[in-house]
Amino acid sequence: MSYPIKWSLSSLGPEPGTERFTRWLTKIRVEYQAFAKNAENFSTVVTAKSLAELVNEYSLCRREYWQVNSLVECYASSDTAREEYRQAEAAVAALFPHVEKADHLLDRIIKNIEEGTWSTLVDNKQLADVKGFIIRRRNEASTRLPDHLADFASELSVDGLNAWSRLYDSISAAVRIPVMEHGEVKMKSPGQVAFDSPDRTDRENKFFSSQKAWRDVDETAAATLNHIVGSRLTVNKYAERESHLTIPMQQNRVTQKTIDAMWSAITEAKPLVQKYLRTKQKLLGLPELNWYDLEAPLNLGSTKVGYQESCDIILDAFSKFHPPLRDFTELAFNNGWIEAEDRSGKRQGGFCIDFPTSEETRIFMTFRDTEESLSTLAHELGHAYHAWVLRKHPVVMQVYPMTLAETASTFAETVVASQRFDALTTTAAKVKALEYQLYDSVAFLMNIHARYIFENEMHRKRAEGELSAGELHDLMVKSQKTAYLDSLVEWNPTFWISKLHFYISYEPFYNFPYTVGYLLSQRLYEEARLDPAGFPARYDQFLISTGGPSALTAAKEAFGYDLESEAFWSEAIQPIRNRVEMFCQLAEEL
């Protein structure tokens, strides 16, 4: 069967730039203003009924804003040249102060409920469906800005923090990298340039061409990143937050103890990952490894996998694990929920985005007929299924932390990779498959660690003053050397520019949640192996619980995991240790 490779957006709302779209924005603004008026006049005597009604009104506003924001993101990502789409992003950003004001007003009401009233209110059956949400809002209220500053900061962010983030989107969208193809120099978007060629000279040329293209915008990027981080630090000061990591931990519903335990277990395991890198270097016949060699394919026969074939592979793997996951995936394939075409003018990267009003999702990526693209597609479908399982729940309970979002996506990716590996029969095929899985391990255990180290140090240094582009280049290389145990010779100093995650205004430290999700998914897959019949239902229930106030509680209640224990993370790393040993052993047999 042939599945569409371009998505359909027309059923999700009016196209940006049209009068209907403008009217939609106006309607959302009016709804938020009405909510604000009701919240400001809310009785100081809070009952379960009155709070349930207020949360419901808040949810309706949030659902509409979520829908329009997602739609604009889809249009703008798939066609960066359209001016009306960029203007629509700015128009949606202008709604953000109304969104944050609603948050502040609701938080204030929940925070100010007397403890005696709260203890009975929170267990009232009228609030049962949103209990996790109101508990989380009350827990997080202590780190909010004072009332007299909250609205001011929200309005200022339109032309401040969020504007700097949008500026980066414009800068990066305009970057073009010259690449030689068939005797002609072609200008490519960054997302179209990969370092996975079997020809090292080709990889090297693309790498240095990319470096030059990103260095051409490094001064503007440095100013942008300095102002994003500086804005956050200023808000942190006036909110009297303990550190620059308070909000990232809160947003991801984990503790600093959790993340410290995870990095400690990873650091202990890194020498084994180094063993994989040395073995790969030997198989490639290279005197040393450079940054642009990390994606290099082993000389074990080239395999291209097209989009249609990838869809069939994923469907087959999902059907063996959990038929409802397979049925959902086929629905997404058939109904044009995926934008995968390889063409110029698209933003780099990939994402899955939710449309709560329509109870649908959309997936954005650039499919390049590679194993990596197949894995990315499976990964994003894991996100999409997560949203699908939650679609009938209150919209405020559909908001889950990135740590658990990445657990769902990476778990789906692992299902596909593991089932494909189990079907292999030759040593060469197994080595190649293991190498691809271990490349992912390097990404999560080393690359993500480098990003975390960089961002942590950037926040610390920025508190003392702005950093120049040169200082940011140096800090990036220093972070990479630490995270990779100095395993490479040539590093990637411009990574802080090309990695868009550093410039996301609404979610700082868009890095460590990937590793949390990756390792948790590895542990979950081992759980699935032990209980193949009972696990899928337990997994779906776990996905539903992710809308609750704590990732630690969700993992503990569903599977008994203690995420603050270094022993848990060491156990979660065990499948990676096994793959490294198998890879090195099989490599000797080639």
* DSSP output for 16-70: TTSHHHHHHHHHHHHHHHHHHHHHHT--SS--HHHHHHHHHHHHHHHHHHHHHHH
Res 203: pLDDT: 96
Give the DSSP letter of residue 122.
T
Spatial neighbors of 324 by CB under 8 A, at least 6 apart, are 536, 540
Q: Give the distance from CA 147 to its chain's centroid.
A: 31
Rg (alpha carbons) of the chain, rounded to whole number:
24
What is the model's pLDDT at position 344? 85
Pairing of strands 360-364, 351-355: antiparallel
Q: Give the Cα separation of 410 and 433 in Å (integer).
A: 16
Residues 6+ positions from 16 with CB-CB distance below 8 Å: 71, 72, 75, 76, 84, 85, 87, 88
pLDDT of residue 497: 98
d(CA 154, CA 49): 29
Contacts of residue 43, defined as CB under 8 A and 6 or more positions apart, other chains included, come to 50
Give the C-alpha separation, 471 to 461, whole Å: 10
Task: Report the distance separating Cα 362 and Cα 352, nearest Å.
Answer: 6
Amino acid letter for position 373: S
Amino acid 3: pLDDT = 97
Contact 89, 76 (CB under 8 A): yes
Residue 434 makes CB contacts below 8 A (sequence gap 6+) with 421, 579, 582, 583, 586
Is residue 564 within a helix (H) or strand (E), and if so which, with residue range?
none
Residues of the chain with pLDDT below 70 are: 302
Pair type for strands 184-188 and 360-364:
unpaired
C-alpha to C-alpha distance for 516 and 255, rounded to whole angstroms: 12
Q: For residue 192, what pLDDT is reported? A: 83
In order of their start, the domains of the chain are 19-143 (1.20.140.70)
Partners of 188 in beta bridges: 177
Question: How many whole angstroms separate alpha carbon 14 and alpha carbon 4?
Answer: 21
pLDDT at 244: 97
Q: What Cα–Cα distance (Å) separates residue 103 from each residue in 39, 146, 295, 538?
A: 10, 13, 43, 33
The pLDDT score that the predictor gives to residue 55 is: 97
Residue with tokens 């075409």: 341
CA distance to 215, 229, 373, 403, 560, per residue, from 206 (Å): 14, 30, 19, 33, 47
Strands (E), 396-544: none
Q: What is the pTM of this model?
A: 0.92
Give the pLDDT confidence score for residue 238 in this predicted structure: 96
Q: What is the pLDDT of residue 469?
A: 98
Can you count the helices (H) and strands (E) in the chain?
24, 5
Determine the Cα angle at 196 with ends 195 and 201, to 5°: 65
- How many angstroms separate the Cα of 426 from the Cα of each of 274, 302, 438, 493, 590? 25, 15, 18, 39, 10
SS3 13: coil
Q: Using DSSP, state whether 361 is helix, strand or coil.
A: strand
